[in-house]
Amino acid sequence: MSKTYTVKQGDHLFGIAEENGFHSYSIIWDHPQNAQLKQTRQNPNILFPGDQVFIPDLELREESRSTNQRHKFQVSTEQLQLRLVLEDVYEKPIAGASCNLIVDGDSHKLTSDGSGLIELPIQPDAKKAVLIVDSDETPFENVEIPIKIGHLDPVDKLSGQKARLNNLGYFAGDVGGPADDAFESAVEEFQCDQNLTVDGKCGPATQAKLKQLHGC
């Protein structure tokens, strides 16, 4: 039976689709009753607590095949990827860094590419990860860096702005906290580095640049 689901912190559409028996998040994302949500959020994996997602009925598909024979059916599924970019204190990519990415207890040995990127296919229900970087190009060498999968809020929300600033090294303070002096200073520093108007306010131009540099 169709229903409306209220998004919680940490939800993303891959996970919501998996929990409701859909092999593809696109079936939900592209449904006409989610058109406003799609237009507002744009990215199915960056939702905000309280968003309303329409979950349509599952549709059964029938295939006609001859009896007394064996038949093979294949289902096309979409793969969720966890992507991280490593940069040094000068915002330069850290290439060729050996990393250990632990997702829900499973350890994966990875090496960053020329752009500092590491990526790993993950399950839709993955919730937590820990990154350990084995490179002296970062002050976080061999430090366990916790990662909350699905917890990045939209860039037009204060929590989303703080998270992106923190991830880019601007120390905006606690993601769940208020817009305090630390946040304003972080915004000003970011604006100065990006040749934006320095006013300490995270308006549309600053949000767009944050989204561009952060990657989402």
CB-based contacts of 113, cutoff 8 Å, min separation 6: 95
Task: Report the CATH number of the 3-55 domain.
Answer: 3.10.350.10
Per-residue DSSP letter, 61: -
CB-based contacts of 139, cutoff 8 Å, min separation 6: 89
- Class for domain 80-148, per CATH? mainly beta
Tell me: the pLDDT tens digits for 8-40?
A: 999 999 999 999 999 899 999 999 999 999 999
Spell out the domain ranges in the chain: 3-55, 80-148, 158-214
The pTM of the full predicted model, rounded to 2 decimals, is: 0.85
Tell me: the pLDDT tens digits for 82-127?
A: 999 998 878 889 999 999 999 999 999 999 999 999 999 999 999 9
If phi over 0 gives left and psi between -120 and 50 gives alpha, with beta otherwise, what is residue 208?
A: alpha
Whether 80-148 and 3-55 are alike in CATH topology: the answer is: no
Residue 131: the pLDDT is: 96
Annotation: CATH topology of 158-214: Muramoyl-pentapeptide Carboxypeptidase; domain 1 (1.10.101)
**CB of 4 closer than 8 Å to CB of 52:** yes
